[in-house]
Amino acid sequence: MNLKKYFYNKIVVITGASSGIGAAIAQLANSFGAKVYGLCKSKTNDALENVVYLSCDVRNKEQVNSAISEIINKEKSIDILINNAGLGISGAVENATNQDVNLIVDTNLLGVVNVTQAVLPYMRVNKNGKIINISSVAAIFPIPFQGFYSSTKAAVLLLSESLRM
């Protein structure tokens, strides 16, 4: 795949773009000529040069809709959405609190749903767009003491397959 052709002159939105895989993808897309918007739980101004960071917790539908509206108002379209935001919790399933479970499910799965639902209407109107959801090998091969991470990543994988169809 010619990544420069894929990203050149595109509007790219990446969740969880301030560190890790999200920051690496943002840097790559930017280097190939994309205009990159990073949605991050805590706004950062210095993570990557030439990336526009917007403060947005993907668990909060109002924040997501506001951030996507801001991008659309400025750019008129979103060409690529990369749902990358995620987290993990370690430990035995029986020791997890409901608060921990809700946090990981709301971030890893509901976050993907919230951002996808916010972007899809614009992609449909423009008859253009790609959505890339970052899952994990743990979706297929569960990790011991990472049951909730594996479960949410499996859900993202199946949601992605449903969207593809």
Q: Which of 10, 136, 153, 160 is catalytic?
A: 153
Instruction: Classify strands 130-133 and 11-15 as parallel, antiparallel or unpaired.
Output: unpaired
Torsion of CA 163, 134, 127, 114, to 10 degrees: 70
Instruction: Classify strands 130-133 and 35-40 as parallel, antiparallel or unpaired.
Output: unpaired
Q: Which of 10, 18, 41, 160 is catalytic?
A: 18
Return the number of other C-beta atoms located less than 10 Å from residue 138's C-beta. 18
Q: Which of 37, 122, 135, 150 is catalytic?
A: 135
Active site annotation includes 122? no
Q: Which of 37, 53, 122, 149 is catalytic?
A: 149
Rounded (10°) angle between helices 147-164 and 98-105: 30
Active site annotation includes 18? yes
Give the Cα separation of 39 and 41 in Å (integer): 7
Active site annotation includes 31? no
Residues involved in catalysis: 18, 135, 149, 153
